A and B are shown apart, each in its own frame.
Chain A
Amino acid sequence: MKFVPFLLKNIFRNKRRTLLTMTSIAVSLFLVATLLTVLSELENPPMAPDSALRLVARHKVSLANILPLSYRQKIQEVDEVDAAVGAAWIQGIYEDPANIFAQMAIQADQIWEVLSDVKIPEDQKQAFVKDRTGAVAGKKLADRYNWKVGEKIVLKKGLWPADFELTLRGIYEAQDESALYFQWDYFNEAMNNQGIVGWYWIKAKSAEAVPRVAQKVDAMFQNTTAPTKTESEKAFVLGFISMMGNVQLMIKTICTVVVFAIILVAANTMAMSIRERAREIGILKALGFRRSRILGLLLGEAMSITLIGAIIGSVGARLVFSGVDMYEMTAGFMQRFLVTGETLAICIGTGLLIGIVASVVPAVQAARRPVVDALRRVV
């Protein structure tokens, strides 16, 4: 501890250099923290509390293939199934084709059994179920378009050749507040009762039952013309993300390269600063400081600089992103954008590592140099 003032003196000896090094590390680790957050949000999307109870059954060939309406009853009769509703993806146009958000037609009679973790006033629930052209929207979505309960929402012909004129009956709060739901019955009527179901949303009685339900449902339809693929809600969501390709590899590669670049820059700075002090270090040794102590002092100095830079960069990222509405910025693509404690720990750990790697070579050299040599060199 008694060496802390000495360390600080050395750190601030060349204020400008220290500041520049710290800033370049802070800026780079800000980027690393941002990229790691993108990665963690994609790999581990926030899931709703009852998500572990829900499954999605879709056509095995692709989500764009439709399933028979008759499947619903069969699924409901499977052991350990609590509720099941058919749903269809709508993709209508709300005012402008650039307004993209999730729109789903859903069988309303059991919607609140399946979406059991959605927070919505009881009267709004009932109002939605009773109104054939009713709709409910997530709070974030409603805020984005400034919708109020009672709002008329018109979805123009998009994926389906029909317009849907809806009345907003409720606004819900949930983990995912980016979707609009309306009654599948209304959709079906507009589509001349073709009975189009894109997927079934199933709620199991317990989380342990989920794999058993998935297996039973798939086995039931295996040899039909419309075989299903049933998976947990989380697996379903992750499936979408994996479609984007190897984002993980891309982000990890960029982070590694950036960290390597900082190491080079920091190593250069440390080498300069240690070289300039060759004589001082000789004097310290002449005074009786041990090699290990000198090495410790030099490493400590470098690590302090990189650590402070890393803290500024990563904590800065956390503060910046907590103040920015990423849902708005990314037009609903990122549900949330939280720089997690884990990400902070990785960034700060990386900062320490950069300090060690960047200074170890010049520090060891300096600690090893014979006193006479060091004193002679500069004089």
Chain B
Amino acid sequence: MKIPLKYNLRSLWVRRFSTAMTAFGIGLTVAVVLFMLALIHGLDSTFVQTGHPNHLVLIRQGSQNETASYFDKAIFDIVRLLDGVAKNANGEPLASGEIAVLINHERTGGDTTNVLIRGVSPVAFELRPEIRIIEGRRLRGGVRELIVSQSLSKRFKGMKVGDKVRIASSDWPIVGIFDASGTAYDSELWADYNDVAQEWNRPIYSCIVLRATDAQAAAQLRKRIEGDRRISLEVHDQKAYYQAQTQSSVALKALGVIIALVLGIGSCFAAMNMMYAAVMGRVKEVATLRALGFPRFSILASFIVESAILGLAAGILGCLLALPLNGMSTGTMNFLTFSEVAFNFRLTPSILLQGLLFSLAVGIVGGFLPARRAARLKLIDVMRD
């Protein structure tokens, strides 16, 4: 025989002050857990979203990422003419030799960090159709100018259209702002390749990005390049190359797990406290239910359900509290490239669901012992009082 759900809902309502306090307390911890999840997911998704199929990234052997990579310009001329490299409408190979350098720049908050400048030629834009200029104009070569991503423009001082960024002894005007649709390029400044190579006095490439005509051609190119001793470059699938950078959030993930675990335990105790009070305050009711013929198991189930409802309410509250976070922009250091990565908090439905499951678990675990206590009440003892 099942005790109707209405009984639990009414019981929670009768103690609404206490219910609300507990739900709010647990809800806050759910919000903290969601905060961590949204932060980690936002950081990871900038990397996961970057890259196209059949695109390859070539960097120097052993260098692990483009900011640590450099190689002779002659290598690019060999690679771009290989069979299997796709061509654009004008018959030019879709291969882009690029240079990645860092500059130390001040955030709007006042502290300074490294940001990445990518020196490119026009073909680089053809290989990243996700990049759109949203303000100002495109780059011109030979005049030392920069375009900047929208996120960096907001996060760093003096990076609006018309501002000038001082690099060593020269000023580089910002002529445009681009939106890279949430990819890793949203944390970069772009400039003309020759300008950067000249300013840094480094006539080298850091990486080559190219499009293969199809998957088969990509595999062949990889074999061809890795087998060529003149080239000595590592070949990475572009998506895998960026995916690998999700490991830069390892420290955050560890912190997130610790926080979720500790808060989960603390919340269970809070729920337990509230449910024990609920059970002890309703000893007579429980005895009456037993006397009416409800079996012990129904009582156990009923109290666990009540605690689960409490947990769920807390979860919903927590989700509502965390909701304003969604889309908020922030940034941290990518320890692999040693430069700023700007990203947005992302509170996806699946993360909200995780928050609800977390609070549901808190409710069920916290409610178990009090429910067992209720189920084990001795009828005779209670009735005698």
A interface vs B, CB < 8 Å? 16-17, 20-21, 23-24, 27-28, 30-31, 34-35, 38, 60-65, 91, 93, 97, 156-159, 161, 223, 225-227, 229, 239, 242-246, 250, 254, 257-258, 260-262, 264-265, 267-269, 271-272, 330, 333
B109 and A265 within 8 A (CB): no
Known: A258-B32, A262-B25. A27 touches B103 (CB 8 A): no
Q: Which of A34, A158, A264 has the most CB of B within 10 A?
A: A264
Question: Which residues of B are found within 8 Å of A246, using beta-carbon distances?
Answer: 109, 330
Interface string of B140-174 (1 = CB under 8 A from A): 00000000000000000000000000011100000
* Closest 3 A/B residue pairs (Cβ): A157-B62, A242-B111, A24-B269
Q: A261-B26, A265-B25 are in contact. List 5 more A-B contacts (CB 8 A).
A: A20-B272, A21-B273, A64-B101, A65-B101, A262-B25
B28 and A264 within 8 A (CB): yes
B274 on the interface (CB 8 Å rule)?
yes
State the Cβ distance, A229 to closest chain B Cβ, in Å: 8
> CA separation between A260 and B28, bound complex, in Å?
8
B113 and A261 within 8 A (CB): no
A158 and B259 within 8 A (CB): no
Q: How large is the interface on B (under 10, 10 to 19, 20 to 34, 35 or more residues)?
A: 35 or more
B168 and A226 within 8 A (CB): yes
Contacting residue for B61 out of A20, A157, A239, A242, CB 8 A: A157
B266 and A31 within 8 A (CB): yes
Contacting residue for A28 out of B17, B113, B266, CB 8 A: B266
Known: A31-B262, A159-B63, A258-B29. A269 touches B273 (CB 8 A): yes
> CA separation between A254 and B26, bound complex, in Å?
14
A to B contact number (C-beta, < 8 Å): 148
Interface string of B107-151 (1 = CB under 8 A from A): 001011110000000000000000000000000000000000000
B245 on the interface (CB 8 Å rule)?
no
A268 and B269 within 8 A (CB): no
Interface string of B21-64 (1 = CB under 8 A from A): 11011101101100100010000000000000000000011111
Contacting residue for A264 out of B24, B62, B169, B269, CB 8 A: B24
> CA separation between A269 and B271, bound complex, in Å?
11
A261 and B104 within 8 A (CB): no
B32 and A254 within 8 A (CB): yes
Contacting residue for A61 out of B17, B32, B103, CB 8 A: B103
Question: Whose C-beta in chain B lies nearest to the C-beta of A268?
Answer: B21
> CA separation between A261 and B18, bound complex, in Å?
14
Question: Whose C-beta in chain B lies nearest to the C-beta of A267?
Answer: B21
Contacting residue for B273 out of A20, A38, A61, A250, CB 8 A: A20
B276 and A20 within 8 A (CB): yes
> CA separation between A246 and B328, bound complex, in Å?
14
Interface string of B46-87 (1 = CB under 8 A from A): 000000000000001111100110000000000000000000
A17 and B276 within 8 A (CB): yes
